[in-house]
Structure 1
Amino acid sequence: MANQADHCASLVREADRDRYLATLFAPADRRAALFALYAFAIEIGRVRDVAREPMPGEIRLQWWREVLEGKRDGEAAAHPVASALMAGLKRHSIKPDRLVGIVDAHGFDLYDEPMGTLDDLDNYGVMTQSALLDVAIDILGGGGPEAMMVIRGAGIALTVTDSLVHLAKHVSRRQMFVPIEVLDRHGVNIDEVYAGKTSEALKNALAEMRRHARRQMIAARNDGAQVPLAILPALLPLALIGPTLKPMDRRGYEPFDVTPLSRLRRQWLIWRASRDPQRIFAV
């Protein structure tokens, strides 16, 4: 078990350092389950990177579905992330099938079909990021109805921000998370986007996306005034959304050349939010 926990912590530290740092603020007896949950999210989120073709990707996702449904117990026991995940969920009395929706939603990642509407993107965010937050919060002891209201907006904001930060990566493999509805509204030629061409129309479309992310964060902030401090470690990475979006508002912003926040600044923003939780929702 120790080796499995160490494996998950190492994976999260390397692939999702923000959540790794945030988890260090959690009680020691909750960290292993959180690391296992986030390691699972990494495994699911990078299926396209690993599989490269839809069919192998679908097979990987199906394997995870069957793990969560208890149909692969022998194989899961030999897989460090699956084993640690199932043990962590059991320890905190969380039903594994709550994660099946995350697996299903990431089926979208395997194909080149563009995101259709803003509602489609919101639903994708709720099924992935919000669902992940929901389980993380329950591992931390649960946050009640107030937390349920927060995680919807927070999950959508995380998803929109990710689509902006990783636009170049996505279009390089002909993925489009920026909804066609938004691109059409601003007269964007999608073939030019796939070719990596920047235009004022594209910048206007992405500005709309940033406004949408901020509205979701404001809604989360308004609903989250009474959330218990115990669930703070699950929410701390949200403190990076505002600082990530702000440079995109500046003159000279290049959508295909987004400079990520430095590791040191990310660490400082998470620490600062741990001291002043209101900063989590500052956008």
Structure 2
Amino acid sequence: MSDSPILPEDETVPRDEVVRLAAQFIEDAQKRADVLALLAFAEVLRDVPARVSEPLLGDIRYTWWGEALEEIRDRRKVRYHPLSAALAGVAERHALDMKALIDAIDPHRLQLDGRLSLRDALSVADQGQAVILVQAAKVLDATADAACLRIPARFQTLATLKVVGRLNAEEAGAEEGRHLYREARQGLKRVPSILLPLVLPAAVAADLWHGRVRGALSVRLKLLWTFATGRI
């Protein structure tokens, strides 16, 4: 294994096209880039198990990222990686809670034990992915109440874990999907418009949950409609 984890060609943005499209609703180019870096970090943590051949290697990667964030927090020289460098810039420009970001890493380690129970998947969603979104919200509006992001983010994360086969299918059936969808639909109504780009992917999470695939134009229209109306 190399000194730093391997990421895709453009390493400071998420691979997920829906997430990238949602970020296009952020008008300020610098803030958009900063948010994308944090969302890329969330994606890296979520996808570590798919990119290692054994759990020990995954644990090493999570430790690597934890130590990189500690270096950013302590204003020490940060081990180089395009994404760690980008995150250092985001932390310098915004009052991020670095401890919260560091603590968000550990829940993702649950994925290294195999297929997740619904309880463990909720830990990944609520204590991992949603925590990173709350920090991304500080980039867009440091005064906004970002707690409203957690419920839509939960549905988005669980749907993604389900589609990649990391969530126990016996605990992630149609009934649970409907429950999570209703929660996300109500929760999204409380998200202020300036923070909506962070949870717009929840608008297509129901399709992921049920294994449906939208065309590119349909995804764009759905995201636009949700951004304009605040509804999914």
Structure 2, unmatched stretches of 5+, are 1-8
Q: Deviations over 1:152-188 (max 9, x none)?
A: 2112211221233223xx4xxxxxx2376x4xxxxxx
Residue matched to 2:192: 228
Identity of aligned residues (%): 27
Q: Deviations over 1:89-131 (max 9, x none)?
A: 220111322212321111112222x434x44432321012311
Kindly indicate whether the alpha-carbon contact (under 8 Å) linking 1:125 and 1:155 is maintained by their aligned counterparts in 2. Answer: yes
1:14-163 maps to which residues of 2 (within 5 A)? 15-26=15-26, 27-70=28-71, 73-76=76-79, 78-112=80-114, 114-116=115-117, 118-142=118-142, 144-145=144-145, 147-148=146-147, 150-163=148-161
Distance 1:82 1:221 in 2: 30
Structure 1, unmatched stretches of 5+, are 1-5, 171-176, 183-204, 249-257
TM-score of the superposed pair, with normalisation by structure 2: 0.82
Shift in alpha-carbon separation, 1:162–1:140, aligned structure 2, 3 A: same
- Count of equivalent residues: 221
Kindly indicate whether the alpha-carbon contact (under 8 Å) linking 1:7 and 1:81 is maintained by their aligned counterparts in 2. Answer: no
Distance 1:160 1:7 in 2: 25
Q: Does residue 161 of structure 2 align to residue 166 of structure 1?
A: no
SS in 2 for 1:144: coil
Shift in alpha-carbon separation, 1:50–1:160, aligned structure 2, 3 A: closer
SS in 2 for 1:115: coil
**Aligned amino acid, residue 63 of structure 1:** W
**Aligned amino acid, residue 262 of structure 1:** G
Distance 1:121 1:115 in 2: 6
> In structure 1, which of residues 250, 260, 263 is the aligned counterpart of residue 213 of structure 2?
260
TM-score of the superposed pair, with normalisation by structure 1: 0.69
| Bigger share in helix | 1
**Aligned amino acid, residue 107 of structure 2:** A
Kindly indicate whether the alpha-carbon contact (under 8 Å) linking 2:22 and 2:197 is maintained by their aligned counterparts in 1. Answer: yes
Shift in alpha-carbon separation, 1:72–1:136, aligned structure 2, 3 A: closer
Shift in alpha-carbon separation, 1:143–1:155, aligned structure 2, 3 A: farther
**Structure 1 stretches (4+) deviating beyond 6 angstroms?**
none
Distance 1:48 1:121 in 2: 14
Distance 2:229 2:180 in 1: 19
Higher Rg = 1
Kindly indicate whether the alpha-carbon contact (under 8 Å) linking 2:152 and 2:184 is maintained by their aligned counterparts in 1. Answer: yes
Q: Does residue 163 of structure 2 align to residue 212 of structure 1?
A: no
Displacement of 1:73 in angstroms is 4.6
